[in-house]
Structure 1
Amino acid sequence: MAPQQAEPEPRSRATNKIALASLSAMVAETSTFPIDITKTRLQLHATTRPISAFQVAAGILRQQGVPGLYKGLSPAIIRHLLYTPIRTVGYEQLRHAFVSPENHSVSLPTKALIGGISGVIAQVVASPADLIKVRMQADGRMVSQGLEPRYTGSVDALNKIIKTDGFKGLWRGVFPNIQRAFLVNMGELACYDHAKHLVIRNRIADDNICAHTLASIMSGLTATTISCPADVVKTRMMNQVVDEEGKLKYRSSYDCLMKTVRFEGFRALWKGFFPTWARLGPWQFVFWVSYEKLRLIAGLPTF
């Protein structure tokens, strides 16, 4: 286990971490994106009639082919070029602030707090790209229903959102988004960090791919469990548009939460749980194993 340092690290080292986090996130996002679009379509399925993730994925393939599974990939990658480096490097920087010469360890509650804070900061910056990604993923569902898509691409989506909703419209759904980001990163970053060092400290594995895999599995399950309700609300809030009467279906994230429970039942808050976990688990594995390996190659200490 690499010793934690209280001193601020050189700017060049922080820059390298940002670049490596971006590269690892691009690899992870591209390899798991079909699962993400399946999860998003499943969450937008606002009926009580049960439907499985397999049925959703099969429908996309049948109606749009393999390219349909990658609808919205470009804004998703742009989002992670901003979101992932900010949250991971930000987490490390905040973690350093809680390390003293007398105490080189950080408690799990403190890790959870700084994980949540770093996630919120990152999500505020990356929210416009997340909005465009959700809208384009939902567009594929409209095409499958025989409707005209709202957008022809990422740039068209950006222009139309600004034209109809103003520049502030790019941050529609930002509050449920940051709520989800806080919960996800509280579970994801803090759990990965704590679980990895727990595995190493108890000599279950060395600081290698085995420890990284075990830690990523635990963090993926934790993050999915606590964040899925916020993810459902976020997806629905970001996908809604003003109707012909100038009204929105949901007035706030709380209103969305209440209406979802009232009309679809409490279990609807965990719609897409298994595809979310199925996506977040592999995403975590690919990202953390890639990131840790790239850091080692670059001569940086492990996360």
Structure 2
Amino acid sequence: MGVKGFVEGGIASIVAGCSTHPLDLLKVRMQLQGETHAPNPNPAVQNLRPALAFHNTSVAAPGSSIRVPPPLPPAPARVGLISVGVRIVQQEGVAALFSGVSATILRQTLYSTTRMGLYDILKQKWTDPNTRNFPLTSKITAGLIAGGIGAAVGNPADVAMVRMQADGRLPVDQRRNYKSVVDAITRMARQEGVTSLWRGSSLTVNRAMLVTASQLASYDQIKEMILEKDLMHDGLGTHVTASFAAGFVAAVASNPVDVIKTRVMNMKVQPGEAPPYTGALDCALKTVRAEGPMALYKGFIPTISRQGPFTVVLFVTLEQVRKVLKDF
């Protein structure tokens, strides 16, 4: 019975992941917008008032002997979901929308299959056999455990997927040009060490715990409420309603961690040079300082645009797969 849960969850996750991959790619590209823009390249000058900030490149104000620093370069314009999509198609071709889809398949096979299967096992163990009651606190706890373990298993594929999705935004001479997820993982292990495959793993685990707990627990809870109040019967309408609501909850809960995860995983670490970020907290602080607190919700529109359809496809497919495999 336990293995069946892994199979059902794995099939549903792969179908959902592949069908919403372009939206996930747009989310990653939008989360990386503004990352390379430095508000001031000289931190020593940044902390001084203009009248006291003397620097080689400063210029004298007209009619005054006081030297002030030159104006900062304007921040790069940030564009929306549709504009990002159009730009990718124009510059990289339609196929670019599926960059890293092989990594998505592997990620869903490792991460989602594990989390869905473990959640199903815990759900069976913690459901009261007499009342068939599975309390919300138990749902959340099961989601946290299943999501954390699944993320640890699937992190190498997650790193590869983020890099493959983000590659097209780099200058041609700086692109990694991974041929497939296998090539990506092999080259990362060879060039950056095996530990690079688990770069950002703490973020991946935290995000997965939030997503799984909010997504699976919300779906089960909302579905139960709909059926208990007899608002709809147990069919496609109930599954779509519950899954879309669960997707919204998951997007709100996970987006800040997702932004930091994307940036940490995508950073380039040159031999002999300090990494752009020393860790998750450093990345979060630098992002907020440079781009403001709402930078943690960059890519929220594509996140909810992807999380909603993904969750709908995931649970609708899962319910159908369960019907097909009910006699096995």
Q: 1:259: which partner in 2?
A: 286
Q: 1:7: which partner in 2?
A: none
Q: 1:51: which partner in 2?
A: 79
Q: 2:308: which partner in 1?
A: 281
Whether 1:139 aligns to 2:139 is no
Whether 1:75 aligns to 2:63 is no
What stretches of structure 1 of length at least 5 have no aligned partner?
A: 1-12
Contact 2:12 2:314 in 1 (8 A): yes
- d(CA) in 2 for partners of 1:236, 1:288: 29
Residues 124-162 of structure 1: CA deviation (Å, up to 9, x unaligned) = 0000001101111111211xx443421331232222211
Contact 2:2 2:121 in 1 (8 A): no
- d(CA) in 1 for partners of 2:321, 2:200: 34
49-58 or 15-24: bigger deviation: 15-24
Q: 1:191: which partner in 2?
A: 218
SS of the residue 1:147 aligns to: helix
Residues 193-214 of structure 1: CA deviation (Å, up to 9, x unaligned) = 1111111111111211111101
Q: 1:37: which partner in 2?
A: 25
Whether 1:108 aligns to 2:96 is no
Question: Identical aligned pairs, as a percentage?
Answer: 35
| Correspondence 1:153-172 to 2 at 5 A | 153=179, 154-172=181-199
Residues 65-120 of structure 1: CA deviation (Å, up to 9, x unaligned) = 11100000001111101111211121121123323345531222221121111001
Q: 1:296: which partner in 2?
A: 323
Q: TM-score, normalised by structure 2?
A: 0.83
Structure number, greater radius of gyration: 2
Residues 42-74 of structure 1: CA deviation (Å, up to 9, x unaligned) = 101125533211111111100111110000000
235-244 or 183-192: bigger deviation: 235-244
Q: Alpha carbons of 1:155 and 1:88: their partners in 2 closer, same or farther (altered >3 Å)? A: closer
Contact 2:100 2:165 in 1 (8 A): yes
Whether 1:176 aligns to 2:203 is yes
Contact 2:244 2:312 in 1 (8 A): yes
SS of the residue 2:20 aligns to: helix
SS of the residue 1:161 aligns to: helix
What stretches of structure 2 of length at least 5 have no aligned partner?
A: 38-74
Q: 2:7: which partner in 1?
A: 19
Letter in 2 for 1:134: V
- d(CA) in 1 for partners of 2:270, 2:79: 27
- d(CA) in 2 for partners of 1:125, 1:244: 27
- d(CA) in 2 for partners of 1:20, 1:102: 25
How many pairs are equivalent? 287
- d(CA) in 2 for partners of 1:295, 1:276: 27
CA-atom RMSD, angstroms? 1.7
| CA apart distance, 1:166 | 1.4
| CA apart distance, 1:25 | 1.6
Q: Alpha carbons of 1:300 and 1:44: their partners in 2 closer, same or farther (altered >3 Å)? A: farther
Letter in 2 for 1:149: R
Q: 2:273: which partner in 1?
A: 246
Q: TM-score, normalised by structure 1?
A: 0.90
Q: 2:122 aligns with which of 83, 94, 100?
A: 94
- d(CA) in 2 for partners of 1:85, 1:129: 13
- d(CA) in 2 for partners of 1:287, 1:217: 10
SS of the residue 1:207 aligns to: coil
Contact 2:255 2:300 in 1 (8 A): yes
Runs of 4+ in 1 over 4 A off after TM superposition: none
Residues 269-298 of structure 1: CA deviation (Å, up to 9, x unaligned) = 000001010001111111111110110122
